[in-house]
Structure 1
Amino acid sequence: MVQERPVRVERRLSAILAADVAGYSRLMHTEEEATHARLTVLLTDAVVPAIAEHGGRIVKNTGDGFLAVFPSAVQAVRGAVQFQTRIKELTIDDAEDRRIALRVGVNIGDVIVEPHDIFGDGVNIAARLEGIAEPGGICISSSTYDQVRGKIGIEFADLGEQNLKNIDRPVRAYALVRDEPSPGTKGGSTTPSPPSAPRLSIVVLPFANISGDPEQEYFVDGVTESLTTDLSRISGSFVIAHNTALTFKGKAVDVKQIGRGLNVRYALEGSVQRGGNRLRVNVQLIDAETGNHLWAERFDKPVADLFDMQDEIVSRLANTLNAQLIEAEARRAERSLHPDAMDLIFQGMACLNKGRTSEYLAQSRSFFERALALDPRNIEALVGLAVVDAAAVGMALTVDRAARLAAAETALIKALSLAPQHARAHWLLGNVKMFTNRAAQGIAECEQALVLDRNLANAHAYIGRAKYLLGRGEETEAHVQEALRLSPRDTEAFVWMMFAGFAKLQLGADEEAVARFRRSVEINRNHPRAHIYLATALAHIGRLDEARSAAQVGLALDPTFTISRFRANVPSDNPTYLAGRERFYEGMRMAGMPEG
């Protein structure tokens, strides 16, 4: 029998150039036909001739951009510089809000070549580099930089290692430094215009040891290094490597100068002091562009095991800083006249961090939907919409429970198909599975999330939730406490305390349930369910007057609540869990809540 020869796949080492139009969706929305006509002219008069002149060819058009290949990195970068310069000349008289500008990424890679397309990891990296380039700018990989350095008379600024979307390893990137007149110069003199700092870019400066004890130096350096590692797990973050940050150790620093030198938006600095059996850690988050202090925190704890304490301090800082950085980026985005997808995502995330109310969820949904309109494959926007849908169900703010959960699961499956290592997406998919009688699968998703991000406090808490859904309420408290250890001031902490309260009621530990629900109310007095669940637990220990008062507060916050509506949303068929639910209904009736 004659075997067929395998189909030969043509591979070639090439310089890959990816380009697209910055703000294309906004331009098309404003002036569709005019934008299309202007882009066609620019491609014909500037782009195509430059690419052909330098031995390249366009292999694929992508609507608002294109992919091109060149036989060498030098030719690719020279071609890109030529057409970017020509486009600037052709558009210099256009109004700023109508001006077309391309972003360009260049990488060297071994690619699969077909007549009208190219494939491979090298192509993906070029596309992601294009995504972080400035409008009118060029961003290249380190492999490209090594080939062009000293050969083309052009300067590139080192952006450090970048965590690029859907690329499983950091990529060192360089950005074209353009010589342009600064606003204050006259007579045509020029100064280099550095690329703007990436979003969520931060340097963790070496913490100062103010204990007067040189033996504490190892602990201080350990905190700095561990925090650098943990902050790099924040999705979309750009964190300066610890070895670079160490060069500032023991020196008087100008944070604004460091920000310019390292091209970062934020700096974290701190100090560690040990006195007797106590340890104090002070930290400050600083805007590296203005020098303004954005946030400060103090940790003051008894010294037990220094390494356990280091782990706890770093975990708490990473969780708190995540929220603080999102808030800072959201404030920047509010000032943008033409926000891009990431601007909108930061604003949506900041709304979610304010609380899980109908108003904030609606605002968040609007931001995430606008982001997806600009970038339909944006992972953070997909996850954000899933958070909104799951929160609406969890907070009982919707009557479309099944539809919301189905929409959330669809968005998360799409997000994970694009980014399988996205920790929050795994946690949230676990949450959705818990809502739909798949608690064991939900635990597996949360455990995977923790493999990817050990500081993801929500994943710990929701494993605790799944345990009481499976009738194992005695295991819930430990998971909730671990979440609180990692993020004691988390905006979700009131929800975690509800989980603990449910588990205590399931076990018949009613006094402890009252304490957990009371703590939930203290954390968030504006959420109706916390008051309603507190009323339920109070009724079971015979404090009926207090129970009825708590129920009235809850009903004032949510006049639509009824016992029958609560009964309609049962996320588990476990017999132990269902028996605990019956105790819940009984407590609600004793507290005077409407049957419905």
Structure 2
Amino acid sequence: MLKISQPSIVVGDRTVDMARELLLDGRGRIVPLRPQAWAVLRLLAQRVGHLVQKDEILDEVWPNCEVTEDSLVQAIGDIRHALGAPGRSALRTLPRRGYMLVADGDSIERSDSSNAAATSTPNKIEEPSDSSIPSLSIVVLPFANIGGDLEQEYFVDGVTDSLTTDLSRIAGALVIGRSTAFTFKGRALDVRTIGRELNVRYVLEGSVQRGGNRFRLNVQLTDAETGAQVWAERFDKPAADLLDMQDEIVSRLANTLNAELIKAAARRAERLLQPDATDLYFQGKAFLSTGITPAVMARAKDFFERALALDPDHVEAAVAAAQVDFAIGSSSMAEDASALFRASEERLNDVLLRAPNHPRAHMLVGAVQIRTNRAAKGIAKCMQALALDRNLADAHGFIGLGKYALGRGEEAEGHIQEALRLSPRDARAFLWFMIVGMAKLMTNVDVEALGWLRRSIEANPNFALSQFHLAGASAMMGELEEARSSAKAGLSLDPDFTIRRYAISTSFLSENPRWLARRERLYEGMRLAGIPQG
């Protein structure tokens, strides 16, 4: 039930106190909301019963910030969670249009003294000390130009601009816009002061210095609350074409910062007694980045499902849960991979109804299509994801997998090299190395195949499927000692693995005759290495 009063609105058992800009529960206690989520709720409350277009909300709530529609979806999820079960249905989504705060039938009515208690001033308000600061909020300060070269000044400002835009694509991130960030150019301020002034959790600083024919770029990420350095990196590059170098540097920084920001948010979430859905999502993402084993997958999935139990509309948790199902099916960890692929695709399609421009959701739909004998469609879907986020290195990796599935394995390496160019230290690089190794194996370049598969294991020795692939490939080439060693290592990670289970999970990948013939050779190699038939 929704009631309107001046200056408060009652939604279920919650009160939107417009005068004090607070959301209160039935006992008058504050229900924490991040600033942007409150701003969205306030705008919808001001227009109760009317559609508010997405673009209007974005312009109103994020006027000086570079954000995507995903930030709005995340804010809506936060609001629904904060409204609780009695009031959640009052906030409605009109697909591709916007949102509306409504009531059923004649349930909109003026409040009177009978509901005054709901809006009365509580004797004591308990509020978390830093709940108003979004977990993934950051300002990119203008990089310092050491040396003062005018040509370099344009390059330095370009790096700052591009990085601000690219970081805004991180799911759920709030990135302070360029115009605001550049007001700090040349000012010597403590990062904690900047954090308080802009209400952000992290500050990114950098400098560029040219020496002869090389550029050196230093960057550091600082926790604005404590002043502690979270991450630092240095890049040395030949002074070639500045624009090309700028694109590469920004892509590498954006991909690395994405991972570092999520790890930092997860560490903070671990200390919370009552984590919310986003906190649980960050913990699951951080856990997921540690590898692909049955135990890791189960733990990560638990975090995402707990997040979705708290907030069924949490888009990022839904995408991450779908990624887990896809990863388990792709890694031959389950008997029924087809069921996992179906579940993953269904969940992702549901996400895209709510967030039609979500890059990772498009990419993962493409990945599922590639793994279920629809490689051409899957490649197109991954290209669509890259059009939405040019830094999505994983999309290049999946395109490489798609070329392998189509029997065009000789093209796979080029796509993997592009993924590595964008994210050379990526936690998932071991998967990309394995894809090239398998592509080489299927195109009869066996010696190179072994090199790439060994490289995959060096990058992550705890991924069972790489061990099993190396075991089969080594045995095919008469390297039985290495084959048996790899098989033993793989079975220690996934004791239930069998050739039969692997054959079932890969049967969806391709019907290309050349691919199928080489796969039979791989099965024989796995048998020679000592992997159970099943």
| TM-score of the alignment, normalized to the shorter chain, above 0.5 | yes
Matched residue SS, 1:568: helix
Which deviates more, 434-443 or 470-479? 434-443
Q: 2:175 maps to which residue?
A: 239
CA shift digits 1:340-384 (9 cap, x unpaired)? 111111111111112122222112111111111121122112111
Aligned mates of 2:456, 2:417 — CA distance in 1: 13
Higher strand content, 1 or 2 = 1
Q: Is the 8 A contact 2:73 2:355 kept in 1?
A: no
Unaligned runs of 5+ in 1: 1-39, 68-78, 93-98, 112-116, 130-139, 144-157, 172-192
Matches within 5 A, 1:290-301: 290-301=226-237
Find out whether 1:580 has 2:518 as its counterpart.
Answer: yes
Q: Is the 8 A contact 2:487 2:531 kept in 1?
A: yes
Q: In structure 1, the residue corresponding to 2:292 is in which secondary structure?
A: coil
Given that 1:267 and 1:286 are in contact with CA atoms closer than 8 Å, whether structure 2 keeps it comes out as: yes
**C-alpha contact (below 8 Å) 1:429/1:442 kept by paired residues:** yes
Quote the RMSD (CA, aligned, Å).
3.2
Distance across 2 between alignment mates of 1:453 and 1:433: 20
186, 190, 202: which one aligns with 1:254: 190
> What amino acid maps onto 1:52 in structure 2?
S
CA shift at 1:468, angstroms? 0.9
SS at match of 1:548: helix
Determine which of 193, 197, 206 is the counterpart of 2:133: 197
2:478 equivalent among 534, 542, 562: 542
**Structure 2 counterpart SS, 1:233:** coil
2:277 corresponds to 1:360: no
TM-aligned CA deviation for residue 195 of structure 1: 7.7
Query: 8 Å contact 2:74–2:172 — kept in the other structure?
Result: no
More contact order relative to length (CA 8 Å, sep ≥ 6): 2
Could you tell me whether the CA contact under 8 Å between 1:159 and 1:263 is conserved in 2?
A: no
1:193-243 Cα deviation digits (max 9, x unpaired): 998222211111111222464432221111111111110111111111122
The 5 A counterparts of 1:488-503 are 488-503=424-439
Q: How many angstroms apart in 2 are the aligned matches of 1:332 and 1:169?
A: 19
Match of 1:442 among 373, 378, 396: 378
CA distance change for structure 1 residues 459 and 335 in 2, over 3 Å: closer, same or farther?
A: same
**Structure 2 runs not aligned, ≥5 long:** 77-128
In the alignment of these two chains, the number of paired residues is: 475
What is the letter of the counterpart of residue 382 of structure 1?
A
Counterpart contact for 1:166–1:418, Cα < 8 Å: no
Aligned position for 1:52: 5
Structure 2: distance between partners of 1:300 and 1:250? 24
> Cα distance, 1:84 vs. partner?
5.1
- 1:82, CA displacement in angstroms? 6.3
Question: Using the alignment, how far apart are the partners of 1:162 and 1:291 within structure 2?
Answer: 25
Which AA in structure 1 matches 2:42? V
Alignment of 1:66-85 (within 5 A): 80-81=18-19
| Partner of residue 500, structure 2 | 564
| 8 A contact 1:450–1:456 mirrored in 2 | yes
Counterpart of 1:106 in 2: which secondary structure?
A: helix
Distance 1:540 1:57 in 2: 71
CA distance in 2, matches of 1:341, 1:579: 47
Distance in 1 (CA, whole Å) between partners of 2:67 and 2:248 is: 27
Partner of 1:146: none
Question: Once the two structures are aligned, what percentage of the paired residues are identical?
Answer: 55
Superposition map of 1:94-133 within 5 A: 99=29, 101=31, 105-107=41-43, 118-122=49-53
SS in 2 for 1:294: strand
Matches within 5 A, 1:391-470: 391-470=327-406
Cα offset for 1:400? 2.7
Letter of the aligned partner of 2:261 in structure 1? L
Q: Where does 1:160-199 land on structure 2 (aligned, <5 Å)?
A: 163=68, 165=70, 167=72, 196-199=132-135
Q: How far is the alpha carbon of 1:533 from its aligned partner?
A: 1.4
Whole-angstrom distance in 2 between the partners of 1:527 and 1:548 = 16
Point out the structure with max Rg over C-alpha.
Answer: 1
TM-score (norm: length of structure 1): 0.73
Render the CA deviation track for 1:492-519: whole Å, top value 9, x for unaligned.
Answer: 1111111101110111001110111011
**Offset, 1:564:** 2.4
- Residue of structure 2 in register with 1:374 after alignment: 310
User: Does the 8 Å contact 2:155/2:246 carry over to 1?
Assistant: yes
Residues 406-457 of structure 1, C-alpha deviation per residue, up to 9 Å, x if partnerless? 2111111111111000001111111111222111111121111111101001
Distance in 2 (alpha carbons) for counterparts of 1:194 and 1:548: 54
Q: Which residue of 2 aligns with 1:285?
A: 221
- 1:215-230 mapped onto 2 (5 Å cutoff): 215-230=151-166
Distance 1:535 1:169 in 2: 44
